[in-house]
Structure 1
Protein backbone atom coordinates (compact mmCIF):
# COMPACT_ATOMS: atom_id res chain seq x y z
CA UNK A 1 0.00 0.00 0.00
CA UNK A 2 2.83 2.39 0.90
CA UNK A 3 4.65 1.55 -2.34
CA UNK A 4 1.51 2.21 -4.40
CA UNK A 5 0.94 5.55 -2.67
CA UNK A 6 4.55 6.51 -3.31
CA UNK A 7 4.29 5.68 -7.00
CA UNK A 8 1.05 7.65 -7.35
CA UNK A 9 2.63 10.56 -5.53
CA UNK A 10 5.61 10.59 -7.88
CA UNK A 11 3.33 10.37 -10.94
CA UNK A 12 1.20 13.29 -9.74
CA UNK A 13 4.33 15.34 -9.11
CA UNK A 14 5.67 14.57 -12.58
CA UNK A 15 2.33 15.48 -14.19
CA UNK A 16 2.24 18.75 -12.27
CA UNK A 17 5.80 19.64 -13.22
CA UNK A 18 5.22 18.72 -16.85
CA UNK A 19 2.22 21.08 -16.86
CA UNK A 20 4.60 23.91 -16.11
CA UNK A 21 6.12 23.43 -19.56
CA UNK A 22 2.78 23.88 -21.31
CA UNK A 23 2.59 27.56 -22.30
CA UNK A 24 0.69 29.58 -24.86
CA UNK A 25 2.41 31.42 -27.71
CA UNK A 26 1.66 35.07 -28.52
CA UNK A 27 -0.26 34.85 -31.78
CA UNK A 28 -0.75 38.61 -32.25
CA UNK A 29 1.20 39.74 -35.33
CA UNK A 30 0.97 43.49 -34.65
CA UNK A 31 3.92 45.56 -35.87
CA UNK A 32 5.67 48.17 -33.72
CA UNK A 33 7.24 50.36 -36.39
CA UNK A 34 8.04 53.80 -35.01
CA UNK A 35 7.67 52.66 -31.40
CA UNK A 36 10.42 52.88 -28.77
CA UNK A 37 10.77 50.08 -26.23
CA UNK A 38 12.93 50.06 -23.11
CA UNK A 39 13.61 46.67 -21.50
CA UNK A 40 15.56 46.66 -18.25
CA UNK A 41 17.66 43.54 -17.88
CA UNK A 42 17.07 42.87 -21.56
CA UNK A 43 20.50 41.33 -22.12
CA UNK A 44 19.60 37.84 -20.90
CA UNK A 45 16.73 35.49 -20.15
CA UNK A 46 13.16 36.37 -21.01
CA UNK A 47 14.09 40.04 -21.40
CA UNK A 48 16.51 39.23 -24.18
CA UNK A 49 13.97 37.02 -25.96
CA UNK A 50 11.38 39.79 -25.69
CA UNK A 51 13.91 42.23 -27.14
CA UNK A 52 14.46 39.95 -30.13
CA UNK A 53 10.73 39.57 -30.75
CA UNK A 54 9.91 43.29 -30.44
CA UNK A 55 12.88 44.39 -32.56
CA UNK A 56 11.75 41.89 -35.17
CA UNK A 57 8.37 43.66 -35.21
CA UNK A 58 10.05 46.97 -36.11
CA UNK A 59 10.43 48.61 -32.69
CA UNK A 60 13.45 50.62 -31.66
CA UNK A 61 14.65 48.64 -28.65
CA UNK A 62 16.88 49.67 -25.76
CA UNK A 63 18.16 47.01 -23.35
CA UNK A 64 19.94 47.66 -20.06
CA UNK A 65 22.37 45.92 -17.75
CA UNK A 66 25.04 46.89 -15.23
CA UNK A 67 27.56 44.80 -17.19
CA UNK A 68 28.65 46.77 -20.27
CA UNK A 69 30.67 43.98 -21.89
CA UNK A 70 27.81 41.50 -21.50
CA UNK A 71 25.35 44.12 -22.69
CA UNK A 72 27.19 44.94 -25.90
CA UNK A 73 27.58 41.23 -26.68
CA UNK A 74 23.86 40.70 -26.10
CA UNK A 75 22.97 43.58 -28.43
CA UNK A 76 25.02 42.03 -31.21
CA UNK A 77 23.15 38.76 -30.75
CA UNK A 78 19.74 40.47 -30.56
CA UNK A 79 20.49 42.37 -33.78
CA UNK A 80 21.53 39.17 -35.51
CA UNK A 81 18.48 37.16 -34.39
CA UNK A 82 15.96 39.94 -35.04
CA UNK A 83 17.59 41.13 -38.27
CA UNK A 84 17.27 44.68 -36.95
CA UNK A 85 19.84 47.42 -36.43
CA UNK A 86 17.55 49.38 -34.11
CA UNK A 87 18.81 47.83 -30.88
CA UNK A 88 20.99 49.67 -28.38
CA UNK A 89 22.56 48.95 -25.01
CA UNK A 90 22.38 51.39 -22.10
CA UNK A 91 24.14 50.95 -18.77
CA UNK A 92 21.89 50.85 -15.70
CA UNK A 93 22.45 49.52 -12.18
CA UNK A 94 19.07 48.93 -10.54
CA UNK A 95 20.75 48.34 -7.17
CA UNK A 96 21.82 51.99 -7.11
CA UNK A 97 19.13 54.68 -7.07
CA UNK A 98 21.55 57.34 -8.26
CA UNK A 99 22.29 55.18 -11.29
CA UNK A 100 18.54 55.05 -11.98
CA UNK A 101 18.30 58.84 -11.73
CA UNK A 102 21.32 59.41 -13.97
CA UNK A 103 19.97 56.92 -16.49
CA UNK A 104 16.56 58.59 -16.68
CA UNK A 105 18.08 62.05 -16.99
CA UNK A 106 20.26 60.94 -19.92
CA UNK A 107 17.47 58.96 -21.57
CA UNK A 108 15.02 61.86 -21.43
CA UNK A 109 17.60 64.24 -22.87
CA UNK A 110 18.31 62.07 -25.90
CA UNK A 111 15.09 60.14 -26.55
CA UNK A 112 11.84 61.83 -27.52
CA UNK A 113 9.71 58.69 -27.39
CA UNK A 114 8.99 55.90 -24.93
CA UNK A 115 6.03 53.75 -25.92
CA UNK A 116 6.66 50.56 -23.97
CA UNK A 117 8.58 50.20 -20.71
CA UNK A 118 9.29 46.64 -19.60
CA UNK A 119 10.51 46.38 -16.01
CA UNK A 120 12.29 43.06 -16.31
CA UNK A 121 15.42 43.46 -14.19
CA UNK A 122 15.33 41.21 -11.15
CA UNK A 123 17.47 39.28 -8.71
CA UNK A 124 16.71 35.78 -7.38
CA UNK A 125 16.25 34.84 -3.74
CA UNK A 126 19.43 36.29 -2.21
CA UNK A 127 20.38 37.83 1.13
CA UNK A 128 22.27 41.01 0.37
CA UNK A 129 21.91 44.79 0.48
CA UNK A 130 21.84 47.40 -2.25
CA UNK A 131 24.22 50.35 -2.33
CA UNK A 132 21.43 52.44 -0.80
CA UNK A 133 20.93 50.10 2.14
CA UNK A 134 17.81 48.28 0.98
CA UNK A 135 17.44 44.51 0.89
CA UNK A 136 18.60 43.33 -2.53
CA UNK A 137 15.32 41.66 -3.52
CA UNK A 138 13.11 44.57 -2.47
CA UNK A 139 15.54 47.19 -3.75
CA UNK A 140 16.21 45.75 -7.21
CA UNK A 141 12.90 43.98 -7.86
CA UNK A 142 10.63 46.76 -6.62
CA UNK A 143 12.23 50.08 -5.64
CA UNK A 144 14.45 50.36 -8.73
CA UNK A 145 11.57 49.80 -11.19
CA UNK A 146 9.31 52.03 -9.08
CA UNK A 147 11.72 54.96 -9.30
CA UNK A 148 12.53 54.34 -12.96
CA UNK A 149 8.88 54.24 -13.97
CA UNK A 150 8.01 57.39 -12.04
CA UNK A 151 10.91 59.34 -13.55
CA UNK A 152 9.91 58.26 -17.07
CA UNK A 153 6.16 58.57 -16.54
CA UNK A 154 5.71 61.98 -18.19
CA UNK A 155 7.41 60.72 -21.35
CA UNK A 156 5.15 57.66 -21.36
CA UNK A 157 2.10 59.91 -20.99
CA UNK A 158 3.23 62.15 -23.85
CA UNK A 159 3.56 59.08 -26.10
CA UNK A 160 0.21 57.55 -25.17
CA UNK A 161 -1.21 55.09 -25.84
CA UNK A 162 1.77 53.53 -24.05
CA UNK A 163 2.38 50.59 -21.76
CA UNK A 164 4.30 49.66 -18.61
CA UNK A 165 4.89 45.94 -18.17
CA UNK A 166 6.39 44.68 -14.92
CA UNK A 167 7.68 41.13 -14.67
CA UNK A 168 6.57 39.47 -11.45
CA UNK A 169 6.10 35.82 -10.44
CA UNK A 170 3.37 33.46 -9.35
CA UNK A 171 5.24 33.01 -6.06
CA UNK A 172 3.88 36.40 -4.94
CA UNK A 173 0.88 34.54 -3.51
CA UNK A 174 2.92 32.80 -0.82
CA UNK A 175 3.76 35.91 1.23
CA UNK A 176 2.25 39.15 2.53
CA UNK A 177 3.96 42.50 3.05
CA UNK A 178 4.99 43.62 6.52
CA UNK A 179 4.96 47.41 6.65
CA UNK A 180 6.99 47.42 9.85
CA UNK A 181 9.81 45.85 7.83
CA UNK A 182 9.45 46.18 4.07
CA UNK A 183 13.17 45.42 3.96
CA UNK A 184 12.64 41.92 5.31
CA UNK A 185 15.88 40.10 4.57
CA UNK A 186 15.96 36.92 6.67
CA UNK A 187 14.66 34.00 4.58
CA UNK A 188 15.79 34.54 0.95
CA UNK A 189 12.76 32.89 -0.67
CA UNK A 190 10.32 34.88 1.48
CA UNK A 191 12.14 38.10 0.62
CA UNK A 192 11.86 37.28 -3.08
CA UNK A 193 8.15 36.43 -2.83
CA UNK A 194 7.44 39.72 -1.07
CA UNK A 195 9.27 41.70 -3.75
CA UNK A 196 7.17 39.99 -6.41
CA UNK A 197 4.00 40.81 -4.48
CA UNK A 198 5.19 44.42 -4.38
CA UNK A 199 5.32 44.29 -8.21
CA UNK A 200 1.63 43.36 -8.23
CA UNK A 201 0.62 46.21 -5.93
CA UNK A 202 2.82 48.67 -7.83
CA UNK A 203 1.12 47.79 -11.11
CA UNK A 204 -2.37 48.17 -9.63
CA UNK A 205 -1.64 51.56 -8.09
CA UNK A 206 0.21 52.74 -11.21
CA UNK A 207 -2.86 51.90 -13.28
CA UNK A 208 -4.95 54.12 -10.99
CA UNK A 209 -2.45 56.98 -11.31
CA UNK A 210 -2.43 56.93 -15.13
CA UNK A 211 -5.95 55.76 -15.94
CA UNK A 212 -6.82 59.08 -17.63
CA UNK A 213 -3.50 59.49 -19.40
CA UNK A 214 -3.59 56.66 -21.94
CA UNK A 215 -0.97 54.51 -20.18
CA UNK A 216 -1.71 50.83 -19.62
CA UNK A 217 0.00 48.99 -16.75
CA UNK A 218 0.14 45.25 -16.32
CA UNK A 219 2.18 42.68 -14.41
CA UNK A 220 3.35 39.44 -15.96
CA UNK A 221 4.20 35.99 -14.66
CA UNK A 222 6.42 34.56 -17.43
CA UNK A 223 6.22 31.01 -16.11
CA UNK A 224 8.88 28.95 -14.39
CA UNK A 225 11.81 29.64 -16.66
CA UNK A 226 15.07 27.72 -16.97
CA UNK A 227 17.24 30.82 -16.89
CA UNK A 228 20.90 31.44 -16.04
CA UNK A 229 20.40 32.32 -12.36
CA UNK A 230 22.53 29.33 -11.27
CA UNK A 231 25.74 30.83 -12.66
CA UNK A 232 26.82 31.94 -9.17
CA UNK A 233 26.72 28.40 -7.78
CA UNK A 234 29.03 25.38 -8.00
CA UNK A 235 29.38 23.29 -11.16
CA UNK A 236 27.71 20.27 -9.51
CA UNK A 237 24.72 22.35 -8.44
CA UNK A 238 24.43 23.83 -11.93
CA UNK A 239 24.50 20.37 -13.54
CA UNK A 240 21.80 18.99 -11.25
CA UNK A 241 19.68 22.12 -11.70
CA UNK A 242 20.09 22.02 -15.48
CA UNK A 243 18.86 18.42 -15.66
CA UNK A 244 15.83 19.22 -13.49
CA UNK A 245 14.90 22.49 -15.17
CA UNK A 246 15.33 21.15 -18.69
CA UNK A 247 12.81 18.42 -17.86
CA UNK A 248 10.16 20.55 -16.21
CA UNK A 249 10.78 24.28 -16.75
CA UNK A 250 10.14 26.31 -19.89
CA UNK A 251 12.66 28.00 -22.15
CA UNK A 252 13.35 31.73 -22.03
CA UNK A 253 11.70 32.06 -25.43
CA UNK A 254 8.51 30.49 -24.10
CA UNK A 255 8.71 32.63 -20.96
CA UNK A 256 8.84 35.81 -23.04
CA UNK A 257 5.51 35.12 -24.76
CA UNK A 258 3.26 36.77 -22.16
CA UNK A 259 5.55 39.81 -22.06
CA UNK A 260 5.30 40.08 -25.84
CA UNK A 261 1.53 39.60 -25.67
CA UNK A 262 1.15 42.45 -23.17
CA UNK A 263 3.39 44.66 -25.32
CA UNK A 264 1.40 44.25 -28.54
CA UNK A 265 -2.09 42.88 -27.98
CA UNK A 266 -5.17 45.10 -27.73
CA UNK A 267 -6.67 42.51 -25.39
CA UNK A 268 -4.79 44.10 -22.48
CA UNK A 269 -6.37 47.54 -22.96
CA UNK A 270 -9.39 46.66 -20.83
CA UNK A 271 -7.26 45.06 -18.10
CA UNK A 272 -5.00 47.88 -16.96
CA UNK A 273 -3.60 47.02 -13.55
CA UNK A 274 -4.15 43.36 -14.29
CA UNK A 275 -1.97 40.33 -13.78
CA UNK A 276 -1.23 38.19 -16.83
CA UNK A 277 0.01 34.64 -17.18
CA UNK A 278 0.10 32.37 -20.21
CA UNK A 279 -0.95 35.24 -22.53
CA UNK A 280 -4.20 35.96 -20.70
CA UNK A 281 -5.48 37.67 -17.55
CA UNK A 282 -5.03 35.56 -14.45
CA UNK A 283 -6.82 35.64 -11.10
CA UNK A 284 -5.12 36.94 -7.99
CA UNK A 285 -5.69 35.86 -4.43
CA UNK A 286 -7.72 38.32 -2.31
CA UNK A 287 -4.69 39.60 -0.37
CA UNK A 288 -3.03 40.63 -3.66
CA UNK A 289 -6.00 42.80 -4.68
CA UNK A 290 -6.09 45.14 -1.70
CA UNK A 291 -6.22 48.70 -3.06
CA UNK A 292 -5.47 50.11 0.39
CA UNK A 293 -2.23 48.15 0.68
CA UNK A 294 -1.26 49.09 -2.90
CA UNK A 295 -1.71 52.79 -2.08
CA UNK A 296 0.18 52.43 1.20
CA UNK A 297 3.08 50.68 -0.55
CA UNK A 298 3.18 53.40 -3.23
CA UNK A 299 3.45 56.12 -0.59
CA UNK A 300 6.09 54.21 1.39
CA UNK A 301 8.06 53.58 -1.80
CA UNK A 302 7.96 57.28 -2.70
CA UNK A 303 9.56 58.06 0.65
CA UNK A 304 12.13 55.27 0.36
CA UNK A 305 13.41 56.40 -3.05
CA UNK A 306 13.24 60.10 -2.22
CA UNK A 307 10.28 61.17 -4.34
CA UNK A 308 8.65 62.67 -1.24
CA UNK A 309 10.09 64.15 1.91
CA UNK A 310 8.76 61.92 4.68
CA UNK A 311 11.79 60.96 6.80
CA UNK A 312 9.78 59.33 9.60
CA UNK A 313 7.90 57.11 7.14
CA UNK A 314 11.15 56.48 5.27
CA UNK A 315 12.92 55.14 8.37
CA UNK A 316 9.99 52.98 9.38
CA UNK A 317 9.74 51.46 5.91
CA UNK A 318 13.42 50.65 5.76
CA UNK A 319 13.29 48.73 9.02
CA UNK A 320 17.04 48.91 9.60
Structure 2
Protein backbone atom coordinates (compact mmCIF):
# COMPACT_ATOMS: atom_id res chain seq x y z
CA UNK A 1 0.00 0.00 0.00
CA UNK A 2 1.28 3.44 -0.92
CA UNK A 3 1.11 6.35 1.53
CA UNK A 4 2.14 9.97 1.02
CA UNK A 5 1.60 11.86 4.29
CA UNK A 6 1.77 15.18 2.44
CA UNK A 7 -1.48 14.32 0.64
CA UNK A 8 -4.78 13.91 2.49
CA UNK A 9 -6.15 12.04 -0.53
CA UNK A 10 -3.29 9.56 -0.24
CA UNK A 11 -3.90 9.17 3.50
CA UNK A 12 -7.62 8.55 2.92
CA UNK A 13 -6.89 5.98 0.19
CA UNK A 14 -4.34 4.23 2.38
CA UNK A 15 -6.74 4.05 5.34
CA UNK A 16 -9.51 2.67 3.15
CA UNK A 17 -7.19 0.03 1.66
CA UNK A 18 -5.79 -0.89 5.06
CA UNK A 19 -9.21 -1.22 6.69
CA UNK A 20 -10.45 -3.43 3.87
CA UNK A 21 -7.36 -5.68 4.05
CA UNK A 22 -6.72 -5.92 7.79
CA UNK A 23 -9.09 -6.68 10.69
CA UNK A 24 -7.15 -4.49 13.13
CA UNK A 25 -4.06 -2.40 13.76
CA UNK A 26 -2.00 -3.50 16.75
CA UNK A 27 0.87 -1.01 16.73
CA UNK A 28 1.28 2.30 14.92
CA UNK A 29 4.47 4.32 15.19
CA UNK A 30 4.21 7.75 13.60
CA UNK A 31 7.72 8.89 12.82
CA UNK A 32 8.25 11.61 10.26
CA UNK A 33 11.71 12.99 10.87
CA UNK A 34 13.27 16.01 9.23
CA UNK A 35 16.49 17.89 9.57
CA UNK A 36 14.91 21.28 10.13
CA UNK A 37 17.89 23.50 9.54
CA UNK A 38 18.47 22.53 5.91
CA UNK A 39 15.06 21.41 4.70
CA UNK A 40 12.53 23.78 6.25
CA UNK A 41 9.76 23.14 3.71
CA UNK A 42 9.11 19.73 5.28
CA UNK A 43 8.01 21.21 8.59
CA UNK A 44 4.36 21.37 9.50
CA UNK A 45 3.48 24.29 11.69
CA UNK A 46 4.38 27.90 11.12
CA UNK A 47 5.61 28.22 7.56
CA UNK A 48 9.17 29.12 6.74
CA UNK A 49 8.50 31.84 4.22
CA UNK A 50 6.63 34.25 6.49
CA UNK A 51 9.78 36.32 7.01
CA UNK A 52 11.95 35.36 4.06
CA UNK A 53 13.43 38.84 3.76
CA UNK A 54 16.19 38.19 6.30
CA UNK A 55 18.35 35.05 6.52
CA UNK A 56 18.61 35.46 10.31
CA UNK A 57 14.84 35.72 10.61
CA UNK A 58 14.44 32.71 8.32
CA UNK A 59 16.67 30.56 10.52
CA UNK A 60 14.89 31.79 13.63
CA UNK A 61 11.48 31.16 12.06
CA UNK A 62 12.57 27.71 10.92
CA UNK A 63 13.77 26.80 14.41
CA UNK A 64 10.51 28.12 15.86
CA UNK A 65 8.53 26.09 13.32
CA UNK A 66 10.46 22.97 14.28
CA UNK A 67 9.82 23.61 17.98
CA UNK A 68 6.13 24.32 17.30
CA UNK A 69 5.79 21.07 15.36
CA UNK A 70 7.32 19.09 18.25
CA UNK A 71 5.02 20.84 20.73
CA UNK A 72 2.04 19.93 18.54
CA UNK A 73 3.18 16.28 18.45
CA UNK A 74 3.23 16.16 22.25
CA UNK A 75 -0.13 17.93 22.59
CA UNK A 76 -1.70 15.69 19.94
CA UNK A 77 -0.58 12.51 21.75
CA UNK A 78 -1.94 13.94 24.99
CA UNK A 79 -5.36 14.63 23.49
CA UNK A 80 -5.47 11.29 21.68
CA UNK A 81 -4.76 9.55 24.99
CA UNK A 82 -7.58 11.52 26.62
CA UNK A 83 -9.99 10.51 23.85
CA UNK A 84 -8.94 6.84 24.02
CA UNK A 85 -9.13 6.60 27.80
CA UNK A 86 -10.85 3.39 28.88
CA UNK A 87 -10.53 1.67 25.48
CA UNK A 88 -7.32 -0.23 26.21
CA UNK A 89 -5.54 1.71 23.45
CA UNK A 90 -2.53 3.76 24.51
CA UNK A 91 -0.35 6.33 22.81
CA UNK A 92 2.91 8.01 23.70
CA UNK A 93 5.03 10.88 22.47
CA UNK A 94 8.60 9.66 21.93
CA UNK A 95 11.95 11.37 21.46
CA UNK A 96 14.34 9.05 19.58
CA UNK A 97 17.32 11.33 20.06
CA UNK A 98 19.43 12.72 17.25
CA UNK A 99 19.84 9.76 14.93
CA UNK A 100 22.40 9.28 12.15
CA UNK A 101 20.32 8.53 9.06
CA UNK A 102 20.43 9.28 5.35
CA UNK A 103 18.28 12.37 5.92
CA UNK A 104 21.47 14.42 5.87
CA UNK A 105 22.50 13.41 2.37
CA UNK A 106 21.24 16.72 0.92
CA UNK A 107 22.62 19.01 3.60
CA UNK A 108 25.01 21.77 2.56
CA UNK A 109 28.64 20.66 2.34
CA UNK A 110 29.75 23.13 5.03
CA UNK A 111 27.44 21.38 7.51
CA UNK A 112 28.60 17.94 6.38
CA UNK A 113 32.21 19.06 6.95
CA UNK A 114 31.36 19.67 10.60
CA UNK A 115 28.97 16.80 11.26
CA UNK A 116 30.75 13.90 9.56
CA UNK A 117 33.99 14.11 11.60
CA UNK A 118 32.21 14.75 14.91
CA UNK A 119 28.84 13.07 14.39
CA UNK A 120 29.90 9.87 16.11
CA UNK A 121 30.17 11.88 19.35
CA UNK A 122 26.49 12.81 19.51
CA UNK A 123 24.48 10.94 16.85
CA UNK A 124 22.70 7.71 17.73
CA UNK A 125 22.51 4.70 15.46
CA UNK A 126 19.11 3.87 13.95
CA UNK A 127 18.92 0.87 16.29
CA UNK A 128 19.58 3.04 19.35
CA UNK A 129 17.14 5.68 18.14
CA UNK A 130 14.38 3.08 17.77
CA UNK A 131 14.63 1.76 21.33
CA UNK A 132 12.20 4.16 23.00
CA UNK A 133 9.59 3.66 20.27
CA UNK A 134 9.93 -0.11 20.62
CA UNK A 135 9.76 0.17 24.41
CA UNK A 136 6.52 2.15 24.26
CA UNK A 137 5.04 -0.26 21.71
CA UNK A 138 5.69 -3.49 23.61
CA UNK A 139 6.44 -2.73 27.27
CA UNK A 140 3.77 -3.98 29.64
CA UNK A 141 2.85 -1.91 32.68
CA UNK A 142 3.26 1.57 31.19
CA UNK A 143 -0.38 1.98 30.17
CA UNK A 144 -0.89 4.51 32.99
CA UNK A 145 1.51 6.81 31.13
CA UNK A 146 -0.57 6.98 27.96
CA UNK A 147 -0.29 10.47 26.49
CA UNK A 148 3.02 11.15 28.19
CA UNK A 149 6.43 11.97 26.72
CA UNK A 150 9.21 9.35 26.70
CA UNK A 151 12.94 9.80 26.19
CA UNK A 152 15.52 7.02 26.63
CA UNK A 153 12.74 4.59 27.61
CA UNK A 154 11.66 6.78 30.52
CA UNK A 155 8.76 9.13 31.15
CA UNK A 156 10.03 12.70 31.07
CA UNK A 157 8.37 15.84 32.29
CA UNK A 158 7.61 18.40 29.58
CA UNK A 159 7.24 22.16 29.74
CA UNK A 160 3.90 23.51 31.04
CA UNK A 161 2.71 24.54 27.56
CA UNK A 162 3.01 20.88 26.49
CA UNK A 163 0.72 19.82 29.37
CA UNK A 164 -2.13 22.20 28.54
CA UNK A 165 -5.21 20.03 27.94
CA UNK A 166 -7.29 22.98 26.70
CA UNK A 167 -4.72 23.77 24.00
CA UNK A 168 -4.41 20.06 23.13
CA UNK A 169 -8.17 19.88 22.62
CA UNK A 170 -8.16 23.02 20.43
CA UNK A 171 -5.33 21.55 18.34
CA UNK A 172 -7.33 18.34 17.88
CA UNK A 173 -10.46 20.25 16.87
CA UNK A 174 -8.52 22.46 14.44
CA UNK A 175 -6.95 19.32 12.93
CA UNK A 176 -10.41 17.79 12.51
CA UNK A 177 -11.65 20.90 10.70
CA UNK A 178 -8.56 21.11 8.46
CA UNK A 179 -8.83 17.44 7.46
CA UNK A 180 -12.60 17.50 7.01
CA UNK A 181 -13.07 14.96 9.82
CA UNK A 182 -14.95 17.22 12.23
CA UNK A 183 -18.00 15.47 13.64
TM-score, normalised to structure 2, is 0.85
| Structure 2 residue aligned with 1:109 | 20
| 1:83-141 Cα shifts (integer Å, max 9, x gaps) | xxxxxxx321111111111111111111112111110123332332xxxxxxx411xxx
2:67 is the alignment partner of 1:193: yes
Distance in 2 between residues matched to 1:114 and 1:225, nearest whole Å = 27
Question: Offset at 1:223?
Answer: 1.3
**Relative contact order, CA 8 A, sep 6+: which one is greater?**
2
Aligned partners of 1:124 and 1:192 also within 8 Å: no
2:43 is the alignment partner of 1:137: yes
Distance in 2 between residues matched to 1:215 and 1:221, nearest whole Å = 20
Aligned partners of 1:206 and 1:273 also within 8 Å: yes
In structure 1, the gaps of 5 or more residues are 1-89, 129-135, 139-181, 310-320
| Structure 2 residue aligned with 1:270 | 144
2:97 aligns with one of 223, 246, 249 = 223
Question: Offset at 1:227?
Answer: 2.2
Pairing of 1:125-274 with structure 2 (within 5 A):
125=36, 126-128=39-41, 136-138=42-44, 183-185=46-48, 186=50, 187-235=61-109, 237-274=111-148
**CA 1:271–1:127 in 2, change beyond 3 Å: closer, same or farther?**
same
Select the structure of larger CA radius of gyration. Answer: 1
Aligned partners of 2:43 and 2:65 also within 8 Å: yes
| 1:251-285 Cα shifts (integer Å, max 9, x gaps) | 11111110110011013211011111111111111
Question: Offset at 1:290?
Answer: 0.4
Aligned partners of 2:97 and 2:129 also within 8 Å: yes
TM-score, normalised to structure 1, is 0.50
| 1:274-316 Cα shifts (integer Å, max 9, x gaps) | 111111111111111000100011011111111128xxxxxxx
Task: Give me the CA root mean square deviation.
Answer: 1.7
Partner SS, residue 29 of structure 2: strand
Pairing of 1:41-60 with structure 2 (within 5 A):
none
**CA 1:234–1:261 in 2, change beyond 3 Å: closer, same or farther?**
same
| Structure 2 residue aligned with 1:95 | 6
Question: Offset at 1:235?
Answer: 4.5
Partner SS, residue 93 of structure 2: strand
